[in-house]
């Protein structure tokens, strides 16, 4: 390829760009409303930025109080091969990734809502909540 062919190709490329830019400018000008047309706001659409709760049900949480959820207290987790799982017997010990004395996770429907520690009350195990997860923290954990 000759040295003097390169400037001609570059000029042709620039001409193509100039033509494309001019075409885009013409399309933008055609799409823009003319100065003599009147633009009116549409009032037929309802607003979504303000809550629209109707009737006596507003603020009435009683409707959802009887919906069952699954509450789980998680001591820890581990991965185990099926061979090892089948060899477990009464008295076997399975090592978990949680450390002794570490707070346990409290989950509702699989979503972490709190952490706590084990307590024994009247010969029954329970959990004392030591940290409630804020809604902002729950959302942050979802994006991990």
Angular region, 135: left φ>0, alpha ψ -120 to 50, beta rest: alpha
Is the pTM higher than 0.75? The answer reads no
Which CATH code is given to the segment(s) 63-142? 2.30.330.10
pLDDT of residue 19: 78
For 29, other C-beta atoms within 10 Å of its C-beta total 9
- In the sheet that 104-108 helps form, which strands lie side by side, from edge to edge? 71-74, 104-108, 111-121, 124-132
Q: Tens-of-pLDDT digits for all 144 residues of the chain?
A: 555 555 555 555 567 777 777 887 787 776 655 555 555 665 666 666 655 555 555 567 888 888 999 998 888 888 999 999 899 999 998 888 877 778 888 988 888 899 998 888 888 888 899 999 998 888 887 776
pLDDT of residue 144: 67
Dihedral of the alpha carbons of 134, 139, 142, 144, in degrees to the nearest 10: -90
pLDDT of residue 11: 56
Q: Structure tokens of 47?
A: 């607003």
Can you tell me the distance from the alpha carbon of 96 to that of 77, in angstroms, rounded to the nearest whole number? 5
pLDDT of residue 23: 82
pLDDT of residue 82: 93
Q: Structure tokens of 66?
A: 């009887």
Can you tell me the distance from the alpha carbon of 95 to that of 76, in angstroms, rounded to the nearest whole number? 9
pLDDT of residue 76: 83
């Amino acid at each position: 390829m000759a040295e003097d062919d390169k400037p001609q190709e570059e000029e042709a490329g620039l001409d193509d760009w100039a033509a494309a830019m001019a075409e885009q400018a013409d399309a933008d000008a055609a799409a823009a409303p003319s100065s003599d047309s009147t633009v009116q706001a549409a009032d037929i659409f309802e607003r979504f930025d303000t809550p629209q709760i109707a009737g006596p049900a507003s603020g009435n949480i009683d409707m959802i109080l009887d919906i069952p959820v699954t509450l789980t207290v998680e001591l820890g987790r581990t991965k185990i091969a099926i061979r090892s799982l089948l060899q477990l017997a009464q008295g076997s010990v399975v090592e978990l990734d949680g450390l002794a004395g570490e707070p346990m996770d409290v989950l509702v429907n699989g979503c972490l809502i709190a952490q706590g520690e084990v307590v024994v009350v009247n010969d029954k195990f329970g959990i004392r909540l030591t940290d409630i997860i804020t809604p902002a923290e729950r959302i942050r954990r979802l994006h991990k």
